[in-house]
């Protein structure tokens, strides 16, 4: 018997609740499978689902209930800064905290004269680079990643969103150093979780994120140290550094920046949850 949108939602909601999962996942998956907004689904609650859609929807709900696989992986996309980005298991799922990092960059670069050149290190799905390229007029945007699979996702996102980003493969800033490129902005959400915290991670999304996007040696500081070794070869004078950081890494990362740029005054800022989450420094 064909199911209506209403019946499908009710089935999913009850099934998810029984399995102690968030019930809003049903709505998100239905939006995806029907290609409809929430409002449309509500307005058309008596319409029937095509047989094929109903069975795919059921499979996804059951898979989520059983394994906890994040809805972003089932749908293959996530929203970031008002746009939809493709994601898969080769990239970190975009987090809302990173929107705050991007906003911090946009606000600071407002006062600067154009043209400007910027790079996003370890771009993953490309969210930071693509958003900056689209939001900041006159910013020539570069993005690097070590993972070819991640770069494929980022390139496709840039194509779909019509963003002009120069992607290159390399370890942190290496590909820019090879071409003697100079930047006015260096931004990154690098891996920063200490390896020893792996077991205690509760966020289920992290179980599906690539390790190389999450974990770093040296108490989670290895990436910042590596980046700061390369920065002097790439940064123009007066460039802006902007990094996402772990909640307890403000002081350590500030010191890493000051080791290379003693006169800089790194600013640590909190995310919406009141945790230290980003650091900005003019160098
Ligand atoms: N904010 C991410 C998390 O804790 C970590 C991302 C990162 O290491 N850059 O899930």
| Residue of 127, 189, 275 with the most ligand 1 atoms within 8 Å of its CB, for mutation | 189
Residue 189: CB within 6 Å of ligand 1? yes
Q: pLDDT exceeding 70 applies to what percent of the chain?
A: 99
* From 74-83, 108-117, 179-188, the region with the lowest mean pLDDT: 108-117
Please give the number of the atom of ligand 1 that sits closest to the Cα of 192.
8
Please give the number of the atom of ligand 1 that sits closest to the Cα of 220.
8
Residue 203 has pLDDT above 80, yes or no: no
Name the pTM for this structure.
0.93
Residue 243: CB within 6 Å of ligand 1? no
For residues 109 and 117, the answer to whether their CB atoms sit within 8 Å is no
Q: How far is the CA of 26 from the centre of ligand 1 (A)?
A: 26
Please give the number of the atom of ligand 1 that sits closest to the Cα of 205.
10
pLDDT band per the 50, 70, 90 thresholds, residue 113: confident
Q: Which residues are annotated as a binding site for S-adenosyl-L-methionine?
A: 122-126, 145, 172, 189
Q: How far apart are CA 223 and CA 184, in angstroms?
A: 20
| Closest CA relative to residue 187, chosen from 107, 125, 124, 102 | 102
**pLDDT for position 198:** 85
The three-state DSSP-derived secondary structure of 138-158 is CEEEEEEECCHHHHHHHHHHH
The pLDDT tens digits for 230-281 are 999 999 999 999 999 999 999 999 999 999 999 999 999 999 999 999 999 9
Q: How far apart are CA 105 and CA 100, in angstroms?
A: 9
Residue 95: CB within 6 Å of ligand 1? yes
Nearest CA to ligand 1 atom 5: 214
Q: Based on C-alpha coordinates, what's the Rg of the chain?
A: 21
The pLDDT tens digits for 125-176 are 999 999 999 999 999 999 999 999 999 999 999 999 999 999 999 999 999 9
Please give the number of the atom of ligand 1 that sits closest to the Cα of 92.
6
């Amino acid at each position: 018997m064909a199911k209506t949108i209403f019946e499908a939602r009710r089935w999913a909601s009850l099934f998810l609740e029984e399995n102690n999962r968030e019930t809003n996942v049903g709505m998100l998956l239905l939006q995806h499978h029907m290609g409809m907004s929430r409002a449309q689904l509500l307005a058309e609650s008596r319409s029937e689902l095509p047989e094929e859609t109903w069975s795919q929807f059921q499979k996804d709900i059951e898979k989520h209930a059983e394994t906890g696989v994040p809805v972003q992986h089932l749908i293959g996309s996530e929203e970031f800064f008002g746009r939809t980005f493709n994601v898969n298991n080769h990239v970190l799922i975009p987090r809302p905290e990173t929107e705050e990092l991007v906003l911090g960059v946009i606000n600071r670069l407002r006062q600067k004269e154009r043209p400007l050149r910027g790079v996003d290190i370890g771009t993953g799905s490309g969210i930071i680079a693509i958003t900056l390229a689209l939001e900041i007029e006159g910013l020539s945007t570069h993005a690097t990643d070590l993972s070819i699979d991640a770069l494929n996702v980022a390139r496709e996102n840039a194509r779909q969103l019509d963003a002009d980003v120069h992607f290159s493969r390399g370890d942190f800033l290496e590909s820019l150093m090879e071409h003697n490129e100079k930047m006015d902005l260096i931004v990154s959400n690098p891996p920063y979780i200490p390896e020893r915290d792996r077991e205690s991670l509760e966020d289920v999304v992290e179980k599906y994120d690539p390790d190389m996007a999450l974990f770093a040696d040296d108490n989670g500081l290895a990436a910042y140290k590596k980046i700061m070794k390369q920065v002097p070869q790439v940064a123009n004078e007066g460039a802006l550094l902007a990094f996402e950081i772990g909640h307890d890494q403000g002081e350590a990362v500030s010191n890493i920046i000051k080791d290379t740029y003693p006169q800089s005054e790194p600013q640590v800022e909190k995310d919406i949850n009141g945790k230290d989450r980003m650091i900005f420094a003019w160098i």
